[in-house]
Amino acid sequence: KEVDAKSNRSFQYFPNMYESVGYEAYQEGAIFPGNMEAQKPVDGTVSRGWMPYEYEDDNDGYASAKANLINPVPLTEDHLSNGQALYGIYCAICHGAKGNGVGYLVETEKILGVPSYDAREITEGSIYHVMYHGINYMGSYASQTSIEERWEIVHFVEALRADLMGVPR
């Protein structure tokens, strides 16, 4: 099917309820600071079903998360397969489907220096911490994944690491 590109929208006939009266997500609005409808919630507020992450984004926070943070999501078949699916979307592009640091972007040399999971000493706490805050060139994935999803990914990363090191899962 061929679609002809055009740079203008088509005519509309009596667009009575086409434009939203209320504010829609992502729209512009003159009354908002910065002209953005999406405003940041007040610092320190906590919404239902969400808890703030307590470890700071620095070396101490990393060390402390690595030592103390425990995965609250139980290791079940469902969580693991969810983790695998999410890993495929967000992580495999650089870290590789097997976690050996050779994702497609590394293969094509767009991004370099991605370590294999068995090359470093990592714990479930440190995996989560890095996903939340990012580390060096890796950015934070907190905006794309929920708390539970990140812990599911942690389960799958640990499984990959066990495979790489030849340890039974």
Partner 1 sequence: MIKKKLHLSTLQLFLASLFLVFSMMGAQAQEDATTSDAESATPVEATPSESDTSGGNATQGEALFKANCASCHKLYKKAVGPALFEVTKRHDREWLYEWIKNSAALIATGDAEALAIYNEYNQSNMNAFPGLSNQDIDNILAYTDTPKPVATTAAPVDGEAAAGGGGTSSMTNNIVLGALALVLIVLIVVLFAVNTTLKRFATANGIQTEFEEEDRTERTPIWKAFVQNQFLVLVTAIFLLLASAYFVYGALMSVGVDQGYAPVQPIHYSHRIHAGVSQIDCKYCHSSARESKHSGIPSLNVCMNCHKSIAEVADGTYQEGIEEYGIDYNKEIQKLYSATGWSEDEQAFVGEEQPVRWVRIHNLPDLAYFNHAQHVTAGNIACQTCHGPVEEMEVMYQYSPLTMGWCINCHRETNVDLAGNGYYEEIHKELSEKRGGRQLTVADLGGIECGKCHY
Q: Which of residues 32-61 bind partner 1 (CB under 8 A)?
A: 34-36, 59
Nearer to partner 1, 68 or 146 (CB): 146
Of 86, 97, 100, 78, which Cα lies nearest the Cα of 131? 86
> At its nearest, how many Å lie between partner 1 and the CB of residue 119?
8
Q: Is 144 one of the binding residues for partner 1 (CB under 8 A)?
A: yes
DSSP assignment string, 93-133: HHH-TTSSS--HHHHTTSS--PPPTTTS---HHHHHHHHHH
Stretch in the footprint of partner 1 (CB under 8 A) among 19-27, 45-53, 123-131, 158-166:
19-27
Residue with tokens 């989560």, as numbered in its chain: 128
Nearer to partner 1, 19 or 167 (CB): 19
How is residue 23 annotated by DSSP? Answer: P
- The residues binding partner 1 (CB under 8 A) are 3-13, 15, 17-21, 24-26, 28, 34-36, 59, 88-90, 93, 101, 104-105, 108-115, 119-120, 134, 136-141, 143-146
